[in-house]
Amino acid sequence: MTGRSAPAAVVARGWGIRHPGRRAWALRGVDLVIEAGERVLLLGPSGAGKSTLLTAIAGLHDPAAVETEGTLLIDGVEPRLARGRSGLLFQDPEAQIVMARAGDEVAFGLENRCVPADAIWRRVDAALAAVDFPYDRDRPTHALSGGEQQRLALAATLALAPGLLLLDEPTSNLDPESAAEIRAVVGQAIERLGATLVIIEHRVGEWLPIVDRVVVLEAGGGVVADGPPHTLFAEHGARLADAGVWIPDQPPAAAPRGQPPRAETLVIAEEATHRYPDELRDALEATSVSLRSSEALALVGPTGSGKSTLALLLAGLLKPSHGTVIAGEALAAGRGHEPLIGWSARELASHVGTVFQDPEHQFLTGSVRDELLLGPRRAGLAAGEATARANELLERLRLSHLADANPFTLSGGEQRRLSVATALAAAPRLLVLDEPTFGQDRRTWAELVHLLSALRDDGRGICVATHDRAFEHALADRSLRLGDRP
């Protein structure tokens, strides 16, 4: 990567923002100065407005579509006029990938910045190499795993050599080893570029060597803590942990283990593989595994090893290219040994609850409450029982204040909690969850662990694809590690 921009400064004075259709402000009264060249870790509980602030700094909010107050300036000008100074990596990398091939994706931003044609491909290749992208320029972007998409999106952002680097959970979809590599890449890029860095992350401890300041936001308000990491956590750590903020070296308490009923086989995969269209190799190598009631199985392994693909196979949402995935008699009486892929959508929804890696892909209604009522109604539950179940999940997963909100307007962490709640709403015997702790603050992470532990102890089967080692250790009875890195 070549090129360098002068580091940018950020100043907010009494700034606030309210999204369309919301009574509450996402942020209000934000007073914040980030000096040029500072490296800031932005923290706060889920829904505190961290991503909203980051996208506002990047100049991506349409002033006609949101209500704002106060001032927010980048080097003295409105963020929309300073877009060329910043590079933003979204929380969901798929949301910013627009090109069909990996190399074209990295080149796209450079072309828009009018980088000379003879320099573009040198910068593309350097950026891909910097993030250890495992393929060449011609790799189809649709064939990338979530973690590989994250690497590509980061490469495209770093290739711009921005003066203001904005990263929204850049390692959220990566295995721990890959996450460590990305932190090293970011650290090296900041040293070389001299850029200002603002980063949102829940893996707090790992980023402390890179940042020199921590800023904490509260939902609907502004900055509630600000200072050097060691001082801030020493003075405010306990209070922030109670509010749901992740604190280094203070993991939530583990859920107590009950006495579950005898385990029964729910789903059996025998030598199951899957190859996506136009691919030259299998996304998942031949895998045999069983899912059982009263047990939690974790699917672990490096980015791109097939965890999400296996989860979709086990949930009956993807057809094996080879091998079989069949139901056990305990999943549905009289349906034992039937291929899950042949079940109707209603039958599957009644017996298997699924959380996708991208939660917005499974939202079908216009409000959070209606989303939670959909599954129980399809399963034939009476209106009163469906409503009671929805209200319980709204309360337990801290979504009650968002019951009337459109699911697509929620933060990433709130969308993840809603997707978990919808999977639970129909009370299925088996839950298959892909990265359920993504974007969760400390408090809701612990709530998910306790909720899933209770369901397991009540006789449900739980299968989670996860990079979250703490979550694996807190919940899983067994772990299945998938292949080596490509």
pLDDT at 486 over 50: no
pLDDT computed for residue 144 by the predictor = 86
Q: How far apart are CA 148 and CA 144, in angstroms?
A: 5
The predicted structure's pLDDT at residue 236: 94
> Closest Cα partner for 276 from 315, 308, 314, 298?
308
Rounded to an integer, what distance in angstroms lies between the CA atom of residue 342 and that of residue 216?
49
What's the rounded Cα separation, in Å, for the pair 241 and 417? 19
With a cut of 60, say whether residue 350 has pLDDT above it: yes
Instruction: Inform me whether the pLDDT recorded for 92 exceeds 80.
Output: no
Choice between 397 and 288, residue whose per-residue pLDDT is larger: 288
- The mean pLDDT value of the chain amounts to 90
Q: What is the percentage of the chain residues whose pLDDT exceeds 90?
A: 54
Fold: same for 10-243 and 265-481: yes
CATH code of the domain made up of 10-243: 3.40.50.300
Indicate the residue type of 10: V
Residue with tokens 């979709």: 312
pLDDT of 485 reads: 45
Report pLDDT digits (tens) over 283-299: 999 999 999 999 999 99
**Closest by CA position to 217, among listed 83, 411, 348:** 411
Average pLDDT over residues 178-186: 86
Which of 3.20.20.80, 3.40.50.300, 3.40.50.20, 3.30.70.100 would CATH assign to domain 265-481? 3.40.50.300
Judged against a pLDDT cut of 60, whether residue 445 lies above it is answered with yes
Whether 3 shows a pLDDT value over 60: the answer reads no
Q: What is the pLDDT of residues 55-71, one digit of tens each?
A: 999 999 888 889 999 99
Q: In this model, does residue 270 exceed pLDDT 90?
A: yes
Average pLDDT on 95-111 reads 91
- What is the torsional sign of CA 146, 273, 339, 260? negative
DSSP 260: P
Q: Which carries the bigger pLDDT value, residue 173 or residue 312?
A: 312
For residue 143, what pLDDT band results from cuts at 50, 70 and 90? confident
pLDDT reading at 386 higher than 90: no
Q: What is the mean pLDDT of residues 190-206?
A: 90
- Weakest-pLDDT range from 263-267, 310-314, 420-424: 420-424
DSSP 257: P
pLDDT at residue 435 is higher than 80: yes
Mean pLDDT of 93-101: 86
Domain boundaries, the chain: 10-243, 265-481
6 against 215, higher pLDDT: 215
Mean pLDDT of 448-471: 93
Phi, psi of 199 (to 5 degrees): -130, 140
Q: Of 109, 130, 113, nearest to 183 (Cα)? A: 130
Which range of 146-150, 376-380, 401-405 scores highest in mean pLDDT? It is: 401-405
Higher pLDDT, 413 or 2: 413
Nearest to 267 by CA among 168, 338, 175, 193: 338
Q: By percentage, how much of the chain surpasses pLDDT 70?
A: 98
Contact status, residue 28 vs residue 222, Cβ threshold 8 Å: yes
Above 50 in pLDDT, residue 147? yes
**Residue 424 confidence class, pLDDT cut points 50, 70, 90:** confident
- Tell me: pLDDT of 462 over 60: yes
Residue 360 predicted with pLDDT over 80 = no
Mean local confidence (pLDDT), 147-154: 86
Q: What are phi and psi of 274, to 5 degrees?
A: -150, 135
Q: How confident is the model at residue 447 (pLDDT cuts 50, 70, 90)?
A: confident
Going by pLDDT thresholds of 50, 70 and 90, the confidence category of residue 195 is: very high
For residue 66 the two structure tokens come to 């949101």
Under 8 Å between Cβ of 130 and 185: yes
